[in-house]
Every structure is written in structure tokens, then in C-alpha cells.
Structure 1
Amino acid sequence: MRWRFDGWIAGLGTRSGTRIVLGHWPRSPLGAFSDVMVERPDGHRVLLAPSGEVAEFVGATYRFDEVRTVPVRVTTGARWRVEAGPLRMCFVPGRRGVLGVLLRGVPPPLARMPAWIAVIDRPARMLLPGVRTRGSAGNGRREWYGAQDLRPITEVRAGWNGADLGGLAEVSPPVRFGFGSVPPRPALVRVTTTVSAGP
């Protein structure tokens, strides 16, 4: 059995040491939704999910120390705005570079194929430390990340329970929700994620 989630992943760090991964999924087996994974400076990992169904699925696929079900609202555009429980965030995607242009040149049906994703896993690891395009997830599941675009994030304003998280920083150390991290440099990635319950 396979589930396919089509949308965007934004990964960024802040000067406070908090690292944030936003998943924005207009098309998925669970309907349109957004969720946020947060790793605090002390390593505490929090999932902010908009429903019990999303919390159950994502919580069974990745690793968290805490799962909260809260309203998650995302507005896209020149500035992306995120409201999710204790988190308030606004970030700005910049112009795509060479890697983003190359990813956009891959036909989408090919970019989403697990066989193609397996081929580019090693080059992705060499270009982007910590990044993997395929691997084992929780509960015997496997995952493939089919990237189709990449844009740098150039600016962020974020707060947690009203406390400022500081300016933009690299995702360092890498986040520990699953088998791989997001790119070390803050980025917005257009992606199709495939999750399989079998081989």
C-alpha cells in the first residue's frame, strides 16, 4: 500500500537554535493539510498537526517527543505565513539557483518515480549533507522524496509562545524526525513524498 503527498516542504533554522520543518500538502490521501515539525535547541521534537488523523499518520511515520493537535493555517505567496499553536512564522522564498532550475527540468512523472528517486539518492547526499531521498520510516514504512524545485529561504520572522526565535540560520545540527534531514541551508522544496507500507 502506498500513500502520495504532493506539495512543499520548507526547512529552516533560527538563531535561537530552534529548527522548523513545514509540510504544506494541497493533495494527499488525508485531504489538503499542513503540519509543522519543530526541534527545539535542547533536541525536544514537537509535531503540530491539524487533526487527529494527521497526527496519527505522521506520528507513526516519524519520531517525536510530543504531538499536539492544533489549528495549522498557511498562507502562500511572495511571503509564506504560518500559524500553528505556539508557532507564528513568516518567511520569504528567494530566486531559485542552478539546482532548482535542474530539478524543474525533470519531467514530473519521472521525478515522482521511486526508481528515479533511488538513482539520485547518492548525488543528493553529496550535494546536500544530511539529505536523503529514500529510506526507512517508522512502523516498517519506506519513503521516497521526489523533489521538483528548490528555492532558498532568504528571510524569516518566527516566534514560539510569543518569544522571538531570532533571525535565519542554517539547519544545524540536522533535524532528527526521520532517516534524513532537510537541506542545511534554509530552503523551500517542491516535492512529492511517497510512503509505502511494504517493500
Structure 2
Amino acid sequence: MTPTTPMTQDRSGGRPDRMRFDGWIAGLGTAAGVRLVVGYWPLSPLGAFADVMVERADGRRVLLAPSERVAEFVAATYRFDDIVICPVTVEPGRERWTVAAGPLRLTFEPGPSTALGRLLRLVPGRLATSPGWAALCDVPARLLMPGVRTRGSAGGGRREWYAARDLRSIATAGATWDGADLGELRPVRPPVRFGFGSVPRRPSLTRVVTTVELARERRRGRGQASKRSV
């Protein structure tokens, strides 16, 4: 699969209260107990960007974001204990992805599309990204992949739904944090706790369109996480 071409316009169908992010989510665990969720968004209302959500072995949740603007939006939608503003770069490839974000260095190799991924690719785009389809898929998703949700309530009174368009397993990965090896690839266990759902337990790379519906009255995030820049 070829990554989406970087673009910056919003494709939310004319709804000013909806923001649509088109890209990829990689979720994986490590032997050190650190779980990583990488978002790569070539097409979004915030422009092309990438971010990383980290849950440490002690449960502390960290957001690595490339700008104040991205950090503000993501932290108003999900929950974190710490926010780090730092350069975040993702270099996608057919055989290997490379991620550099503050103290994190990560490489991983995605495998071919899974059986479920091949089925997801058959769903027409307009149907796959609709709220009704997300509602229909929510229960099967929870049964097939414990912890995964396709719709739910996000922070600040927002609603969110996911449209998975493809699913690939992650075959191998290597990661370091401040130069320390995080160990071998592991399932995402326990599930991450950034929002209403987790990524699949099996390390995976998901092609996804995420839609966030903003609250009509409450547009600001909670701003409780500590924040620093590196």
C-alpha cells in the first residue's frame, strides 16, 4: 500500500463542527511495558502532521506532538498526564516505517493486509466514513478485537468515530527511549487508556479515517496535563 499523498484541506463534507483526519495508526507494545500509538495524518484540517501517544509501564500517558496547535487539539480529545512539544517525523514505506519523536526512535515492518484488512478495503469510502457504519461496526469490532471501539465520546464533549479502511499486522519492530532499548515487540497489553477505546491487541498498522465532531458549546480542552517543549 502507498501512503496517502500529503494535503491540507478538510474533507468533512461541509460540516464546520466536524474535523476529519485521513491517514494511518500504528499500535504496538514492547517488552519494557511501553505501549506506542503512532498517528500519521497526511490529510487533516490541521495540515499534514504526525503524533505519538505513549503509555509507560507505570501507566503514565505522554503525548509527543509537533506543535502547540496539534497538542491543544489532541489533548482536548484524549487524556494525557504529560505533553511534550517536539519534532515528530514519520517516514512511511512499503517495507519499513521510521519514526523519530523527541526521546523516541522507532522502526517497524508491516506485513501484508490481514483477512479483515482485505474485507475493509472492499467497503465504499462514503459508506465506510459515515457515522451509521461506525455504529454498525462497533459491536463486531469489540468482539473480534477486545478493547477496540469504532465510535464513542471524546474529551470536551466531543464525539468521535473511526473508519478502518485496511489492517496490516506489524511483523517486527525496534524502539528506544532516550537511547534505552525498549525490548522486543509485544502485544498492546494492557490496553492503552488515551480515549474511549484502545488499538488492537495484536501489533498492527491501520489505514483509517477519523472524524471528530466538536461540541457546539464547549470547544476548549481540559488543559490539565503538564506541558514542555524539547
Task: Give the TM-score category using the shorter length.
Answer: over 0.9
- Residue 85 (structure 1) aligns with: 102
- Residue 132 (structure 1) aligns with: 149
User: Is 1:55 aligned to 2:64, yes or no?
Assistant: no
**CA deviation profile, 1:95-121 (whole Å, cap 9, x unmatched):** 112101111111111111111111110
- Residue 164 (structure 1) aligns with: 181
1:7-156, aligned counterparts within 5 Å? Answer: 7-77=23-93, 78-156=95-173
Alignment partners' CA distance in 1, 2:209 and 2:75: 19
For residue 176 of structure 1, what is the amino acid of its counterpart?
A: R
Alignment partners' CA distance in 2, 1:45 and 1:141: 20
Alignment partners' CA distance in 1, 2:196 and 2:190: 14
SS of residue in 1 equivalent to 2:22: strand
Unaligned runs of 5+ in 1: none
Structure 1 position 198, deviation (Å): 3.8
SS of residue in 1 equivalent to 2:140: helix
TM-score between both structures, scaled by the size of structure 1: 0.99
1:1-12, aligned counterparts within 5 Å? Answer: 1-12=17-28
Alignment partners' CA distance in 2, 1:171 and 1:125: 15
For residue 55 of structure 2, what is the amino acid of its counterpart?
A: E
Cα root mean square deviation, aligned? 0.8
Rg comparison, structure with higher value: 2
Unaligned runs of 5+ in 2: 1-16, 217-230
SS of residue in 2 equivalent to 1:178: coil
